[in-house]
Amino acid sequence: MLRQALALIQPARRIVLIAHEHPDGDCLGSALGLAHILGQAGKTCVTACADPAPGNLAFMPGIDKLQDTLDNEDYDLVIALDAGELPRFGSLYQQHQAFLERVPILNIDHHISSSGCGNVNIIDPTAAATAEILVLFQQQAELPLNKDAALCLLTGIITDTSSFQFTNTTARTLEAGAVLLRAGAIPETVVQPIYRTRPLAQMRFQALVISNAQTSCCGRLIWSQATGATLAAVGATPDMDDNFSGLLRDIEGVEVAVFFKSYDDPNITRLSMRCAAPYNAAEICQRIANGGGHARAAGGTLHLPIDAATKLVITELERIMSARFFDVETP
């Protein structure tokens, strides 16, 4: 795939790198990191995302130039990062669908549920992050890697492994991290704003979500909800709910944790799920919530009010967990 990817990149004059909607550290770190790499190689690069970047990622070089549109569509290559389906790019897809259907696309992703949306697709579910794939790509293609690119890519790896704590961390993940450190990236620059420094409103939001949590299956299943009213009660903003399902999953005895949220449209509910082995979060979310992700961490969207969505998902999880029906394949 390296040769095919380079065949798309080499003749390209202007490249737009797009990150999926509701962005996280990996999609934005990957888009910005690869833009820095290709910029050093002489390409004109623009990064775009339908939604604003979370405030705790403001340290990444180039994030201030992130666009929320493809403006005049004057690009001869699109690189779609950290998602394998074009609708996952939100309004960028909705507003520029005709353009995205005719322009060459290079798709780079690591989600096991990814189907690929490009003329060339580099999809590696064994990678802890899309940023990890990009480090391998940079090394194999012998492309330049400066400190700015390294810091952005390290952000992707650190956020998708929770500072190398998750089971998706492999020897190759650590080796990729070492490449980035040798290029000048400093882990503390990433860890401090993401894991150590939080606004008081976010801590209050977190406390409210935990206090409202409910459990089932003898405490092995836990879930909680948040709405616009929840945000208003503590003065929080939507981007402050990062990794709430992971927070619930960390509670002793929990095997499956789900965080449900509905902030703007009362008929749309988004969910984030974290699972312990042997449960398969990606399969469950893909089947019941039109979503996907990883075996241990996934998400999805239901076109239902939050209470109805919660009842639907929790009832199914209770069925799965009560029957100890692992890695579900039931239609």
What are the beta bridge partners of residue 285?
A: none
For range 150-159, the mean pLDDT:
98
Question: CA-to-CA distance for 10 and 5, rounded, in angstroms?
Answer: 9
Does residue 329 have a pLDDT over 60? no
* Percentage of the chain modeled with pLDDT above 90: 90
List, for residues 249-304, the tens digit of each pLDDT value: 999 999 999 999 999 999 999 999 999 989 999 999 999 999 988 889 999 999 99
Contacts made by residues 140-146, CB under 8 angstroms, sequence distance 24+: 140/2, 141/2, 141/6, 143/37, 143/38, 143/40, 143/41, 144/37, 144/40, 144/41, 145/37, 145/40, 145/179, 145/180, 145/183, 146/36, 146/40, 146/183, 146/184
List, for residues 50-94, the tens digit of each pLDDT value: 999 999 999 999 999 999 999 999 999 999 999 999 999 999 999
Domains by residue range for the chain, with CATH: 2-195 (3.90.1640.10), 200-322 (3.10.310.30)
Mean pLDDT in the chain? 95
Encoded tokens for 217? 């299956």
For range 229-249, the mean pLDDT:
94
Q: How many CA atoms lie within 13 A of 76 on its CB side?
A: 10
Q: How many CA atoms lie within 13 A of 9 on its CB side?
A: 26
Does residue 328 have a pLDDT over 70? no
List, for residues 295-306, the tens digit of each pLDDT value: 899 999 999 999
Does residue 330 have a pLDDT over 80? no
Position 324 scores a pLDDT of 65
Q: pLDDT class for 326, splitting at 50, 70, 90? A: very low
User: What pTM was estimated for this model as a whole?
Assistant: 0.86
* Percentage of the chain modeled with pLDDT above 70: 98
Position 16 scores a pLDDT of 98
